[in-house]
Amino acid sequence: MKNIIAVVAIGITTGCGSMLPTKSTVTHTQWTEYRQLDSLIGGIRAGQTLDDIRALGVDVTKTENVEVLTHLDVAKRFGLMGLKDDSLKVPQGVLNMVNAAEKGRGYELKVTNTLEEREGSFWKDFLQFKKVTRTTGWKFSALIITVDNKIVYVLHKGNPNINSVVVEKNPLGPFQSLNGYILVDVLEEVID
């Protein structure tokens, strides 16, 4: 019986790393790699039409995860709402779109492919003494600004190689988040 308990205990403690939680965030699109999007969007130029980029594979009405923006949304993103001076340098295409008002549209494409994995000791994580979370993957976003379905400005950004680690330490483990008064009340009951 002692041998069985020892084998079960060893099995539980050695296999615990696989018991840590994971979280995956994947935007479902036809693009599976950062460089595919970077190459595609990097090739879009002012003067092209929405039909031109549809032929390249970006249909703003059918491509998943494209948000349609009004001229007010774009103005807000570029800090133009309530701007009283000309000190802010705004790209001409953006100004053209804002001035075109209802004839202008912005299209923002966001694609995310990340994986969050917990690392380290299962028991430290489970008992909330130490949680280590590693995030890997990539993110990409593009903003295409149009006036009368003609592209006037393209802006894109992203992170092709995400690899970050967040370490949360709680010296008191599960008691770390307890209110001091609750802890005093519990101790008083134990002492009485």
Query: What's the whole-number mean pLDDT along residues 80-109?
Result: 80
Q: Read off φ and ψ for residue 117, nearest 5 degrees.
A: -125, 140
How many other β-carbons are positioned within 10 Å of the β-carbon of residue 13? Answer: 12
pLDDT range class, residue 53, cuts 50, 70, 90? very high
Q: Which residues pair with 26 in a beta bridge?
A: 113
Spans of all domains in the chain = 22-191
Q: Which residues pair with 151 in a beta bridge?
A: 146
Residue 92 belongs to what H/E stretch? helix 92-100
Q: Which residue has the higher pLDDT, 178 or 159?
A: 159
What is the 8-class DSSP label of residue 27? -
**Burial of 184 (C-beta count, 10 Å sphere; 0-12/13-18/19+):** exposed
Q: Is the Cβ–Cβ distance between 109 and 141 less than 8 Å?
A: yes
Q: Which residue has the higher pLDDT, 6 or 137?
A: 137
pTM: 0.72
- Distance CA(107)–CA(96), nearest Å, equals 15
- Give me the pLDDT at residue 45, please: 92
pLDDT > 50? residue 70? yes
Query: What's the whole-number mean pLDDT along residues 91-104?
Result: 85
